[in-house]
């Protein structure tokens, strides 16, 4: 954004950018593609290899349609193979010399070992995309206010989004044991936005309110936005958040290329098409699916010249629409649905983690909703679940039966249930989410 900040009552942080016409968005995307594609082809060994194998060159791309028709895909497996086969820790994506790097962060590691994320920051700007200021404004934060940050550190300085916006971050550890402090700081500084919630943290906040004698409606009275990210909140956690009386906004990443947040309409998550070109394709082919239908998110960066992902098949199943939102913003919206390959077929029926979730958390000892579907093969004779609990060992048989009964009642299949302490599953997480599907 250029110029001064909008008036506090303004609807948009950057109206011109947020309400571009579809034609303007596509013109801008093509201009940016014309810069990023030659750069990626020239400097990224993986991108060059993929394009050479497809006998396509960036100069062949003169329209978005050319790109959609001709540009080859890459995916997590391609990158992983490059990493292991060629002993290249950057997966063939790094476009800079290693001496130019300033920072090496890492992925969450939810679906495998953490992988390296090399970055180059300018000292003055850090890694914060400018679009995040639009998101914070959209959710109701204003410069000069306090923004509560409850987050881990390994993904980088998330608090930078508040500072860049002109707000002051209040820093609380992503740890159930720090939630009494969260209550105290909320009452002292009266933050207006919170980043970010997960089911475990929601229940820890509720527990801290109870232990500390705090009225949760008072603790949350100042918040205009509670941001939730990582994985969907459990039904129980959603009910708890609803009782606090503050609006919740979902947040997700967009194919490891951009980010998306809900606006006050709560009708899909906006991502900014200035930095992310997203397609929604049939998960088993290269054909686009219709607007607002489920498909696989395929993402291309328009701005990341360090490790450019070009036509990256994310494995994320989403709905995507380019229809302008009732909020007035014209950039596309997505609705996360799940991960490709997370389903397991039992008795001819496809079962997803999201189908199992409510059954698990209705058992009191398992109400954190921590579980994994054990998927040894795409089709299995029996549904196998590993379920977290917080009960004494003497009650395990009853808990196992209760979980099995709840699953059978909802899904019509009797699962095989392995119980493990909650902590054992939480330890698998990054920690805002855990892998919901395990091979064994």
Query: Residues in the site for other proteins, rule: CB under 8 A?
Result: 89, 99, 101-106, 109, 113-114, 116, 121, 123, 143-144, 146, 149-157, 159, 163, 166-181, 184-185, 188-189, 426-427, 429, 431
Q: Rounded to whole angstroms, how far apart are CA atoms 123 and 186?
A: 31
Give 4 or 99: the residue with its C-beta nearer to other proteins: 99
Minimum Å gap between C-beta 149 and other proteins is 6
Minimum Å gap between C-beta 341 and other proteins is 23
CA angle 259, 265, 267 (to 5 degrees): 65
Q: Rounded to whole angstroms, how far apart are CA atoms 127 and 119?
A: 8
Minimum Å gap between C-beta 414 and other proteins is 33
Minimum Å gap between C-beta 246 and other proteins is 20
The residues, ordered by sequence, that sit 6+ positions from 177 with a Cβ below 8 Å of its Cβ are none
Minimum Å gap between C-beta 21 and other proteins is 35
Give 113 or 377: the residue with its C-beta nearer to other proteins: 113
Give 45 or 109: the residue with its C-beta nearer to other proteins: 109
Q: Rounded to whole angstroms, how far apart are CA atoms 141 and 145?
A: 7
Minimum Å gap between C-beta 122 and other proteins is 10
Give 174 or 223: the residue with its C-beta nearer to other proteins: 174
Give 99 or 392: the residue with its C-beta nearer to other proteins: 99
Minimum Å gap between C-beta 171 and other proteins is 5
Do the beta carbons of residue 152 and residue 430 sit within 8 Å? yes
- Token pair belonging to 440: 């064994």
DSSP string, 296-315: EEEEEESS--SS---SEEEE
Q: Rounded to whole angstroms, how far apart are CA atoms 276 and 255?
A: 9
Minimum Å gap between C-beta 231 and other proteins is 16
Give 109 or 405: the residue with its C-beta nearer to other proteins: 109
Give 153 or 217: the residue with its C-beta nearer to other proteins: 153
Give 43 or 155: the residue with its C-beta nearer to other proteins: 155
Give 76 or 410: the residue with its C-beta nearer to other proteins: 76
Using the structure block, give the residue that is written with the tokens 């902590």.
423
Q: Rounded to whole angstroms, how far apart are CA atoms 132 and 414?
A: 45
Using the structure block, give the residue that is written with the tokens 């394009």.
51
Do the beta carbons of residue 426 and residue 152 sit within 8 Å? no
DSSP string, 126-189: TT--THHHHHHHHHT--TTSEEEEEE-STT--TTHHHHHHT-EEEEEESSGGGHHHHHHHHHHH
Give 30 or 171: the residue with its C-beta nearer to other proteins: 171
Q: Name the H helices within 1-159.
A: 15-18, 22-43, 45-53, 64-70, 76-85, 131-139
Q: Rounded to whole angstroms, how far apart are CA atoms 412 and 346?
A: 10
Minimum Å gap between C-beta 388 and other proteins is 14
Minimum Å gap between C-beta 110 and other proteins is 12
Using the structure block, give the residue that is written with the tokens 């229940």.
203
Give 50 or 170: the residue with its C-beta nearer to other proteins: 170
Minimum Å gap between C-beta 66 and other proteins is 38
Residues counted in the chain: 440
- Strand order across the beta sheet in which 371-374 lies: 416-421, 384-389, 371-374, 437-438
What is the per-residue burial (b if ≥16 Cβ within 10 Å, else e) of 148-169?
Answer: bbbbeeeebbbbbbbebbebbb
- Token pair belonging to 49: 């290899």
- Token pair belonging to 212: 């500390």
Q: Rounded to whole angstroms, how far apart are CA atoms 111 and 316?
A: 12
């Amino acid at each position: 954004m250029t110029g001064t900040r909008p008036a506090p009552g303004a609807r948009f942080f950057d109206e011109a950018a947020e309400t571009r016409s579809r034609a303007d968005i596509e013109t801008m995307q093509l201009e940016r593609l014309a810069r990023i594609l030659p750069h990626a082809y020239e400097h990224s060994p993986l991108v060059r290899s993929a394009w050479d194998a497809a006998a396509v060159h960036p100069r062949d791309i003169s329209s978005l349609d050319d790109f959609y028709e001709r540009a080859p895909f890459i995916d997590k497996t391609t990158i992983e193979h490059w990493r292991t086969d060629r002993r290249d820790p950057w997966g063939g994506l790094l476009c800079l010399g290693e001496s130019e790097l300033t920072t090496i962060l890492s992925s969450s590691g939810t679906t495998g070992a953490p992988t390296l994320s090399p970055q180059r920051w300018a000292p003055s700007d850090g890694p914060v995309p400018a679009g995040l200021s639009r998101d914070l404004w959209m959710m109701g934060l204003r410069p000069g206010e306090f923004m509560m940050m409850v987050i881990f550190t390994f993904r980088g300085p998330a608090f930078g989004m508040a500072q860049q916006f002109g707000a002051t971050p209040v820093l609380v550890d992503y740890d159930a044991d720090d939630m009494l402090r969260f209550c105290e700081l909320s009452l002292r500084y009266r933050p207006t936005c919170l980043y970010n919630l997960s089911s475990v943290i929601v229940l820890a906040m509720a527990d801290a309110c109870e232990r500390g004698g705090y009225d949760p409606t008072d603790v949350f009275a100042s918040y205009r936005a509670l941001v939730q990210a990582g994985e969907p909140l459990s039904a129980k956690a959603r009910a708890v958040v609803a009782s606090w009386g503050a609006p919740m906004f979902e947040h997700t990443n967009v194919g490891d290329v951009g980010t998306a947040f809900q606006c006050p309409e709560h009708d899909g998550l906006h991502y900014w098409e200035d930095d992310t070109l997203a397609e929604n394709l049939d998960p088993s082919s290269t054909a686009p699916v219709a607007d607002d239908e489920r498909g696989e998110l395929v993402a291309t960066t328009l701005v990341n010249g360090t490790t450019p992902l070009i036509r990256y098949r994310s494995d994320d199943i989403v709905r995507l629409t380019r229809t302008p939102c009732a909020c007035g913003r014209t950039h596309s919206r997505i609705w996360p649905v799940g991960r490709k390959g997370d389903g397991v077929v039992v008795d001819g029926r496809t079962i997803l983690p999201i189908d199992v979730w409510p059954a698990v958390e209705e058992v009191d000892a398992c109400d954190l909703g921590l579980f994994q579907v054990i998927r040894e093969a795409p089709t299995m004779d029996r549904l196998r679940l590993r379920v977290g609990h917080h009960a004494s060992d003497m009650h395990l048989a009853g808990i196992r039966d209760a979980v099995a009964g709840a699953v059978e009642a909802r899904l019509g299949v009797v699962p095989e249930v392995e119980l493990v302490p909650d902590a054992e599953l939480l330890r698998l997480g990054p920690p805002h989410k855990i892998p919901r599907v395990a091979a064994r």
